[in-house]
Amino acid sequence: MIFGIDYGSKLAGTTVIAMGDHPERLRFFCSCKNADADTFIGQLIQELRPSLIGIDAPLSLPLVYQQPDLSGASFFYRQADKAINAMSPMFLGGLTARAMQLKASFSSVDWIEVYPGGLVKIAQLEGYSKKDKSLIPAFIGMLKAKYGISVDQEVKTWHEVDAMLAWFASYRYLHGHAIAYGNPAEGLIFV
């Protein structure tokens, strides 16, 4: 079982998990507003026991924090962030710390950092505004046509779309098709 997580603010109700074994059938689990998203994720991990989790959140810090004597090293960005124009783990601060803590708390599961926006770029599916929910069915149709991804329920939010993309990046990783960005010693991002 694979989890793809679009990771949001702790209490915002925007964290979504896409789960399944095959791209033909995915299901979504959404956190609730004012409920702890990390507890929600932990409960699903314990209940469903995924073998792989791909999370759209930093799982490491720039290498300079592990090796302070690195001359000229960035205190803000990892090589992977620079390669795909991802946000700095330092800018994301608390979200980064929460993701790293979740990974440490459930270390028996394989975790990878994924970037749904990077997958959209390589799939050439850019141009869909996340401000317009009416575009979701067309986007899902493009994913289905291009990759065979389908879901058991209606996709209502772009957070669900990002969870689906996080799942698909994880699926690609599991089958040796993902593209890795960054330095393994510092942290990789997969698309």
pLDDT (tens digit per residue) in 131-148: 888 989 988 888 888 887
pLDDT (tens digit per residue) in 37-52: 999 999 999 999 999 9
| Rounded Cα–Cα distance for residues 25 and 3 (Å) | 13
Query: Of 135, 113, 139, whose CA–CA distance to 124 is shortest?
Result: 139
pLDDT (tens digit per residue) in 84-104: 988 888 888 889 999 999 999
Question: Are the CB atoms for 49 and 150 separated by under 8 Å?
Answer: no
Residue 57's Cβ-count burial label (10 Å; 0-12, 13-18, 19+) is buried
Residues of the chain above pLDDT 70, percent = 99
Question: Are the CB atoms for 105 and 177 separated by under 8 Å?
Answer: no
pLDDT at 125 over 90: no
